[in-house]
Amino acid sequence: MLGLETSCDETSAAILRRDEILGHVILSQDEHRLYGGVVPELAARAHLAVIDDVVREALDEAGVGLGAVDAIGVTAGPGLIGALLVGVCWARAAAFALDRPVVPVHHMEAHLFAPSLENPEARPPFVALLVSGGHTLLLHALAWGDYRLLGQTRDDAAGEAYDKVAKLLGLPYPGGPQIERLAREGDPGRHPFPRPMLRGGQSPDDPDYLDVSFSGLKTAVSTRVAEVAHQGKLERERAHLAAAFQEAVVDTLVSKTMRAVEVTGCPRVLMGGGVSVNQALRQEMTSRLGDGGEVFWASPRLSLDNGAMVARAAAFRLERGEVAGPELSARAALPFPGLVE
Ligand code: KG4
Ligand code: ZN
């Protein structure tokens, strides 16, 4: 299986034989650095410039030619439409030329599959916390392809909050790793930030019991940054602000996941998406889940956007006969397959 990922700012291709990764290339675009965020048009152009070479290098690493590929899996959404189209058009053209099936993949379902590439135990049933730059989802996976939505963000995604707060603190994009590094030197107690949608006395019947929201937290950080800057203390307080923000995000995400574990009675937790790389989040999740639970995540390379997870999800979808016709297109807001609200 050849897996292609071009939904945002990584161009990636992987060759899988079942769960074994034979070749895997991930190229992160650098052209967005100047702008403090991903510029969609630049992303699409950069994918187009490198996709042939990225696939060729993955094939070389695997020691096979394109003719050895049985099927092509590609992220068809959600994501930036111009960026997605590069992968989808490449996949369609190659599938036509080789007379092989093309399998459309949902980017967030691919994140669900990533840990299973390294650990065969990382399979349903589990409660999944998917935290990326564009999405924050809490779901109950009963089986592969059979998902119940438990909660989601009402506004910003967790990664988006990291990226925006990083910008407020004058840190470059992507903000997640920058804030994590700075937070290690800070005292989270110096700036008490709110825990969004986390109040005492909430009951499972409340509509926001399992949802999250990060825009209020972002505003609280922004207000505090302005106050501290006005007092001329921003440089001195930056690490403390980063630590306090991160503590609020981690506490919120872990508390909501613990509620999901309680509601479902399922103590197996899987974390996926770029923010799941965060060490503070991983530690807090492991410690709050305790000995009675299990937590799964992928190595950083497979947690961030990559083609291997796309190939793995595509293999599952292909097994179910889900092959696209030549009319396949990309969808910026593709619905999550098998997810029941
Ligand atoms: O899954 P991903 O690679 O791309 C999307 O599907 O969006 O996630 C990227 C997001 C970015 O917002 C980035 O800031 C965040 O993941 N991220 C992190 C860390 N590494 C990446 N957030 C917190 N801590 C990290 N160490
Ligand atoms: Zn992603």
Query: Contact, 187 vs 246, CB < 8 A?
Result: no
- The bridge status of strand 10-17 relative to strand 20-28 is antiparallel
Which ligand 1 atom is the nearest neighbour of the CA of 134?
A: 7
The stretch 311-338 carries a mean pLDDT of: 97
**Helices (runs of H) and strands (runs of E) counted in the chain:** 10, 11
Give ligand 1 pocket residues (Cβ under 6 A). 8, 132-134, 159, 162-163, 174-177, 180, 273-275, 277-278, 304-305
> How is residue 117 written in tokens?
């590439």
- The bridge status of strand 294-296 relative to strand 20-28 is unpaired
pLDDT in tens, 57-107: 999 999 999 999 999 999 999 999 999 999 999 999 999 999 999 999 999
Count of CB atoms within 10 A of residue 339's CB? 17
Residues spanned by CATH 3.30.420.40 within the chain?
Answer: 2-112+303-340, 121-297
| Percent of the chain whose pLDDT exceeds 70 | 100
Q: Write the residue with the smallest CA distance to atom 2 of ligand 1.
A: 274
Q: What is the 3-state secondary structure (H, E, C) of 123-148?
A: CCCEEEEEECCCCEEEEEEEECCEEE
Which ligand 1 atom is the nearest neighbour of the CA of 272?
A: 1
How many A from CA of 102 to the centre of ligand 2? 21
Predicted pLDDT at 171: 95
The stretch 116-138 carries a mean pLDDT of: 98
Instruction: Look at residue 326 and tell me whether its pLDDT is greater than 90.
Output: no
Which ligand 1 atom is the nearest neighbour of the CA of 273?
A: 1
pLDDT in tens, 156-212: 999 999 999 999 999 999 999 999 999 999 999 999 999 988 988 899 999 999 999
How many A from CA of 83 to the centre of ligand 2? 13
How many A from CA of 171 to the centre of ligand 2? 21
Instruction: Look at residue 241 and tell me whether its pLDDT is greater than 90.
Output: yes
For ligand 2, an ion, list residues with CB under 5 A.
132, 305
For a substitution probing ligand 1, which of 10, 275, 282 has the most ligand atoms within 8 Å of its CB?
275
For a substitution probing ligand 1, which of 8, 162, 246 has the most ligand atoms within 8 Å of its CB?
162
CATH architecture of 2-112+303-340: 2-Layer Sandwich (3.30)
Predicted pLDDT at 36: 85
Q: pLDDT category, 335, cuts 50, 70, 90?
A: very high
121-297 CATH choice from 3.40.50.1820, 3.20.20.70, 3.30.420.40, 1.10.12.10? 3.30.420.40
pTM: 0.97
Instruction: Look at residue 133 and tell me whether its pLDDT is greater than 90.
Output: yes
pLDDT in tens, 196-236: 889 888 999 999 999 999 999 999 999 999 999 999 999 99
Task: Give buried/exposed letters for 78-112 (b at 16+ CB in 10 A, else e).
Answer: bbbbbbbbbbbbbbbebbeebebbbbbbbbbbbbb
CA–centroid distance for 290 within its chain:
24
